[in-house]
Amino acid sequence: MSPFQRLALFLILIPHCTLLSAASLVGQPINIADHIRNGDRFMGIELLGSLSLRGDPALAELSGLAWDEDEQLLLAISDQGRVLKLAPRFSNGHLSQIELIAAHPLQDRRGKPLRGGWSDAEGLTLENSANGVRGDSRLVISFERHHRIERYHPDGVWHSTLPLPDLLRQRGYRPKTNRGMEAVSLHPLHGLITGPEYPPGNQSHYLISTSGRTWQYQPKEADGALVALEALPNGDLILLERAYTSIFAPWVISLTHIRAADLVSSSSVTTELIARFDSGQGWLIQNMEGLTRHKGMYFFMVSDDGNKPWAQTQLVYFKIVEE
């Protein structure tokens, strides 16, 4: 094989290979508030550590998180069409560091890395991730722009396409452009639940299950957008909402709660505020887009840095304090 042939083969294989040659520590401890420190209580949460993730290009534009209990790994997906495997480290119950184990490109059904608008992975949930069996976890990913929900293997290999609820194919509900399905979660009773970042037209904000059930809700901010969704074992939902209008306005990130009983009894549900982070009130929090439950009522939350040099990929660990 000539040097040119070897080079050509190398360039062909690069996209299909893990992006890391060795695991690396990528967390830098940060403060995300002027007035709140680790261990402090704020509204309905207790803050338990914050990191800025840096040192590898795969850490850019993270938009979805999921905890794999069987593998003891935090999985993340990015707008660039990657799945990352991360191993968090704790000290006295606080998030102190994180290790980037691997990063894989998400592939299409022909085994080619996703490109362009097809790679815009946003929402993430897992199947078979807490059944006591290692190696059988499956990623369920919602995509923006080319709106779809796909099932993947943890190494980024495509598994199957899941059917969308019929309602999402109707003109008045069909997600539009870059404001589509940013959130997806596997609910113990209702199956997969998703919802648009912003509803199309004059629709109210809504969630929808793959069985076709819908629930309308009111975001906490006038310009609030749904960016992540997490179903709890008891059937409750935790929503991550973001409000941002311009560089001259503050970021406002809200965590809200929907009771399982409301999902059963009503098509219009109330969200209860857990915590509100306002960058105009001393919070250094940025564009939070991913949320997952770790264990009990402990959660990870991650920001999308937009691949901008001045922004951070922030990973925040916290506990929802139950009254």
CB atoms within 10 A of CB 12: 9
Q: Given this model, what pLDDT does residue 293 score?
A: 98
Q: Given this model, what pLDDT does residue 8 score?
A: 41
Give the Cα separation of 118 and 254 in Å (integer).
29
Contact 50, 314 (CB under 8 A): yes
CATH class of 42-320: mainly beta
Q: Given this model, what pLDDT does residue 22 score?
A: 63
Give the Cα separation of 196 and 174 in Å (integer).
9
Residues 46-64: pLDDT tens digits? 999 999 999 999 999 999 9
Q: Which value, to the nearest 10 degrees, does the dihedral of the CA atoms of residues 24, 33, 93, 239 take?
A: -90
Segments of the chain scoring below 70 in pLDDT: 1-22, 176, 178, 323
Residues 73-93: pLDDT tens digits? 999 999 999 999 999 999 999
Q: Given this model, what pLDDT does residue 2 score?
A: 46
Contact 187, 209 (CB under 8 A): yes
**Domain ranges, ordered by start, for the chain:** 42-320
Helix (H, G, I), strand (E, B) or coil at 264: helix
Q: Global pTM? A: 0.91
Burial class (CB in 10 A: 0-12, 13-18, 19+), 190: buried
Q: Given this model, what pLDDT does residue 178 score?
A: 67
User: What b/e sequence results for 161-177 when a residue is b if at least 16 CB atoms lie within 10 Å of its CB, and e otherwise?
Assistant: eeebbeebeeeebebee
Q: Given this model, what pLDDT does residue 12 score?
A: 39
